[in-house]
Chain A
């Protein structure tokens, strides 16, 4: 008997999944537990296992196709079996099927993760056929203790993004607590951890460490996401880089002046980064093709009306890009306080998905580490990312005289699919104008 393989619900907020890669060929024999495809959800790429033995009779969708939950992905059965009935059934049920429709549970919940600001799906219609409940739980399974699941639910933590440290990767209480961060972990739990460490030390005579050449560390969900998204970006979109060396004397003076005011008024101190965020936001208004996304699947370029500038923040096990929404409409002080609050929440792992998704442009600053200049990888689906170096004291020539100057290098990485050299250069010139002469931001 032909067995349909449907799109499972792999996360709470998932509405559809994209079959990104087929792992089995048509006509191939598969056994329960075999992985036949990889499915990308709004959260991560997951393996699609089959739960029956049989021959993969048909791959119903192509790589890259999005399939709603319960939609048909493949058909298993015995060799030569006629599956036209089954295919017809699925084809027929996709249109109507009000009774079978599983309501989209969380319309606003389709969120991206760090560096995953995917475009809104065109069609948010829920699937036509509801998957059997048991299939859902089987295929969407993340190994976790009941308590861990409850804690994750209580605190709005996505289990798929939590690395499990229990047997066979089971997510247990301490993993969720680690995720919740120190701020949420009760005093008792900290004491517990300290005691555990002490005990580990006592029982072995020294902290448990490795004997040989390396320590094996599991890949966290965040690392996996960073790896996948950035590889996709770097290899999928042709990057080119434009570097400019900006004169910072006026910016330094302006910042000093502004901060005298913020200090007097008890406002958040303005950092150079805030100034740059503001400058970029203003420049983006004038350069719509930089504030854009190249969407191959949808077959279109989107020129975003809103300007949402993301700022890369390093956290313990990776990085995350909280977003300053409508940055062009916000004052420096507002940008400063918002950036500070978001970065703090990011480090405490308290960021909500809507706080780190939906950016239209991203900046990354390594100036505080004394880095002169670097190139950043574009944060998809942005068109560009700006890498910011440190402010250097350098000798400069002005009117034939060598004098002490201040310079800062910024490097724009551009997706050549939508941004050409001249487009990027013009944008960078505007950014230069705003930063080299901050008063122009007032115009």
Chain B
């Protein structure tokens, strides 16, 4: 184990995989000469050359389609979006081609492609650059959606995503790129997609939180602990396929659940998780499931409003106490 940054963990995953498989290449805006807008691909052009680390024009629909075509013909592209807000430009390619070609061709074509980049809010970026895209992509059969919360998970999950024969949306966070953590140095460090991580065991309430929200959950768990209660924190890590079994197992123990999610609430990930819990663990619930999400509006720009907009620690803490009837 070595302590490295989140961005380095992602780079290690890409570099290690590109060394072991020549069909893998990285493509996106500023990924080569500029080393990536967030320096994730630092040094990769020098090692792999311009045929495998490719700068593109500002044309997401174009280079996404290019990647999908390459994947259909045997290569394994990694497409970097400077931010997932720009993936909206490439919706037709992602939704109608990447997600559906394998199905429509009766399995004759596979699409082993990874779309990765920062997702969700990152401070004062305004309404159009703060979108959490999890539920937008996760609603589509044919796509896998991964959202790691720490460097180690990021490396293990990205390596698995690259080796996966299906399109994977790999959602990072701009504000987490500098986060440090111990990361495995095993070259075959693969964390299975679809397995949640039990981050902290507890008895009184289950908090489900992925990505950046996971860190909010840990703080809430600390505060509850000071009150004399133990929260179980579960990081799903993968949005789709969702490891609902782990969540349900936890709720059978705690009988209550709070979901923290930076997406907007309507038809968001929290809504799906809530549905599945009530379907599978109805008889184990002692309180309605609570969710703390972004407010149901476009993101504001002003700093104070942005703070209000995002799912906050205080709200999550109160929600936990509420479902515990305190």
Please state if A147 and B284 are interface contacts (CB–CB under 8 Å).
Answer: yes
Judged by a CB distance under 8 angstroms, whether B227 is at the interface is yes
Roughly how many angstroms separate A167 CA and B227 CA in the complex, as a whole number? 21
Please state if B228 and A147 are interface contacts (CB–CB under 8 Å).
Answer: no
Task: Identify A145's interface contact among B227, B229, B285, CB under 8 A.
Answer: B285
- Which chain A positions have C-beta within 8 A of B86? none
Roughly how many angstroms separate A174 CA and B227 CA in the complex, as a whole number? 19
Judged by a CB distance under 8 angstroms, whether B199 is at the interface is no
Please state if B325 and A174 are interface contacts (CB–CB under 8 Å).
Answer: yes
Q: Using a CB-CB cutoff of 8 Å, which residues 292-326 of chain B contact chain A?
A: 325-326
| CB-based nearest B residue for A144 | B286
Please state if A199 and B284 are interface contacts (CB–CB under 8 Å).
Answer: no
Given known contacts A166-B325, A172-B325, A195 and B228 CB-to-CB distance under 8 angstroms: yes
Judged by a CB distance under 8 angstroms, whether B283 is at the interface is yes
Judged by a CB distance under 8 angstroms, whether A66 is at the interface is no
Please state if A147 and B286 are interface contacts (CB–CB under 8 Å).
Answer: yes
Roughly how many angstroms separate A199 CA and B325 CA in the complex, as a whole number? 13
Given known contacts A173-B255, A199-B228, A146 and B325 CB-to-CB distance under 8 angstroms: no
Q: Using a CB-CB cutoff of 8 Å, which residues 175-197 of chain A contact chain B?
A: 188, 192, 195-196
Roughly how many angstroms separate A145 CA and B326 CA in the complex, as a whole number? 16
- Which chain A positions have C-beta within 8 A of B284? 146-147, 150
Judged by a CB distance under 8 angstroms, whether A250 is at the interface is no
Q: Using a CB-CB cutoff of 8 Å, which residues 244-303 of chain B contact chain A?
A: 255, 282-287
Roughly how many angstroms separate A202 CA and B227 CA in the complex, as a whole number? 9
Roughly how many angstroms separate A202 CA and B228 CA in the complex, as a whole number? 10
> What mask results when residues 159 to 177 of chain A are scored 1 for a CB within 8 Å of chain B, else 0?
0000001110000111000
Total of A-B residue pairs, C-beta within 8 Å: 40
| CB-based nearest B residue for A195 | B228
Roughly how many angstroms separate A166 CA and B287 CA in the complex, as a whole number? 9
Please state if B227 and A146 are interface contacts (CB–CB under 8 Å).
Answer: no
Roughly how many angstroms separate A398 CA and B255 CA in the complex, as a whole number? 71
Roughly how many angstroms separate A202 CA and B255 CA in the complex, as a whole number? 25
Q: Using a CB-CB cutoff of 8 Å, which residues 212-251 of chain B contact chain A?
A: 227-229
- Which chain B positions have C-beta within 8 A of A188? 203
Please state if A146 and B282 are interface contacts (CB–CB under 8 Å).
Answer: yes
- Which chain B positions have C-beta within 8 A of A196? 228, 326
Please state if B228 and A148 are interface contacts (CB–CB under 8 Å).
Answer: no
Please state if A149 and B286 are interface contacts (CB–CB under 8 Å).
Answer: no
Roughly how many angstroms separate A30 CA and B325 CA in the complex, as a whole number? 35
Please state if A148 and B227 are interface contacts (CB–CB under 8 Å).
Answer: no
Q: Interface size class for chain A? A: 20 to 34
Please state if B228 and A149 are interface contacts (CB–CB under 8 Å).
Answer: no
- Which chain B positions have C-beta within 8 A of A199? 227-229, 326
Instruction: Please indicate which of the listed interface residues A145, A150, A195, A202 has the most CB atoms of chain B within 10 Å of its own CB.
Output: A145
- Which chain A positions have C-beta within 8 A of B285? 145-147
Roughly how many angstroms separate A199 CA and B227 CA in the complex, as a whole number? 6
Please state if A149 and B283 are interface contacts (CB–CB under 8 Å).
Answer: yes
Judged by a CB distance under 8 angstroms, whether A198 is at the interface is yes
Closest chain B CB from A207 CB (angstroms): 15
Closest chain A CB from B278 CB (angstroms): 8
Please state if A173 and B228 are interface contacts (CB–CB under 8 Å).
Answer: no
| CB-based nearest B residue for A166 | B325
Q: Using a CB-CB cutoff of 8 Å, which residues 59-88 of chain A contact chain B?
A: none
Roughly how many angstroms separate A42 CA and B286 CA in the complex, as a whole number? 28
Roughly how many angstroms separate A145 CA and B282 CA in the complex, as a whole number? 9
Roughly how many angstroms separate A202 CA and B325 CA in the complex, as a whole number? 17
- Which chain A positions have C-beta within 8 A of B203? 188
- Which chain B positions have C-beta within 8 A of A147? 255, 283-286
Closest chain B CB from A152 CB (angstroms): 11
Given known contacts A166-B325, A173-B255, A174-B325, A198 and B283 CB-to-CB distance under 8 angstroms: no
Please state if B283 and A150 are interface contacts (CB–CB under 8 Å).
Answer: yes
Please state if B228 and A198 are interface contacts (CB–CB under 8 Å).
Answer: yes
- Which chain B positions have C-beta within 8 A of A149? 283
Please state if B228 and A145 are interface contacts (CB–CB under 8 Å).
Answer: no
- Which chain B positions have C-beta within 8 A of A173? 255, 286
Closest chain B CB from A194 CB (angstroms): 10
- Which chain A positions have C-beta within 8 A of B283? 146-147, 149-150
- Which chain A positions have C-beta within 8 A of B325? 165-167, 172, 174
- Which chain A positions have C-beta within 8 A of B228? 195-196, 198-199, 202
Roughly how many angstroms separate A6 CA and B326 CA in the complex, as a whole number? 39
- Which chain A positions have C-beta within 8 A of B255? 147, 173
> What mask results when residues 365 to 393 of chain A are scored 1 for a CB within 8 Å of chain B, else 0?
00000000000000000000000000000
- Which chain A positions have C-beta within 8 A of B282? 146
Roughly how many angstroms separate A148 CA and B229 CA in the complex, as a whole number? 21
> What mask results when residues 19 to 31 of chain A are scored 1 for a CB within 8 Å of chain B, else 0?
0000000000000
Closest chain A CB from B103 CB (angstroms): 37
Roughly how many angstroms separate A172 CA and B288 CA in the complex, as a whole number? 11
- Which chain B positions have C-beta within 8 A of A203? 227
Q: Using a CB-CB cutoff of 8 Å, which residues 96-110 of chain A contact chain B?
A: none
Closest chain A CB from B202 CB (angstroms): 12
Roughly how many angstroms separate A167 CA and B282 CA in the complex, as a whole number? 19
| CB-based nearest A residue for B324 | A196
Closest chain A CB from B256 CB (angstroms): 9
- Which chain B positions have C-beta within 8 A of A172? 286-287, 325
Closest chain B CB from A234 CB (angstroms): 38
| CB-based nearest B residue for A172 | B286
> What mask results when residues 182 to 217 of chain B are scored 1 for a CB within 8 Å of chain A, else 0?
000000000000000000000110000000000000
Roughly how many angstroms separate A173 CA and B254 CA in the complex, as a whole number? 11
Roughly how many angstroms separate A147 CA and B283 CA in the complex, as a whole number? 5
| CB-based nearest A residue for B285 | A146
Task: Identify B286's interface contact among A148, A192, A198, A202, CB under 8 A.
Answer: A148
Roughly how many angstroms separate A146 CA and B283 CA in the complex, as a whole number? 5
Closest chain A CB from B158 CB (angstroms): 39
- Which chain A positions have C-beta within 8 A of B326? 196, 199
Q: Using a CB-CB cutoff of 8 Å, which residues 122-151 of chain A contact chain B?
A: 145-150
- Which chain A positions have C-beta within 8 A of B227? 199, 203
- Which chain B positions have C-beta within 8 A of A167? 325
Extra A-B contacts (20), CB below 8 Å, given A195-B229, A196-B326: A145-B285, A145-B286, A145-B287, A146-B282, A146-B284, A146-B285, A147-B255, A147-B285, A147-B286, A150-B284, A165-B325, A166-B325, A172-B286, A173-B255, A173-B286, A174-B325, A198-B228, A199-B227, A202-B228, A203-B227
Binding site for A on B (CB under 8 A): 203-204, 227-229, 255, 282-287, 325-326
Query: What are 23 sample pairs from A and B whose C-beta atoms fall under 8 A apart?
Result: A145-B285, A145-B286, A145-B287, A146-B282, A146-B283, A147-B255, A147-B283, A147-B284, A148-B286, A150-B283, A165-B325, A166-B287, A166-B325, A172-B286, A172-B325, A173-B255, A173-B286, A192-B204, A195-B228, A195-B229, A196-B326, A199-B229, A203-B227
* 8 nearest A-B residue pairs (beta carbon): A150-B283, A147-B286, A173-B286, A145-B286, A199-B228, A195-B228, A146-B285, A146-B282
Binding site for B on A (CB under 8 A): 145-150, 165-167, 172-174, 188, 192, 195-196, 198-199, 202-203
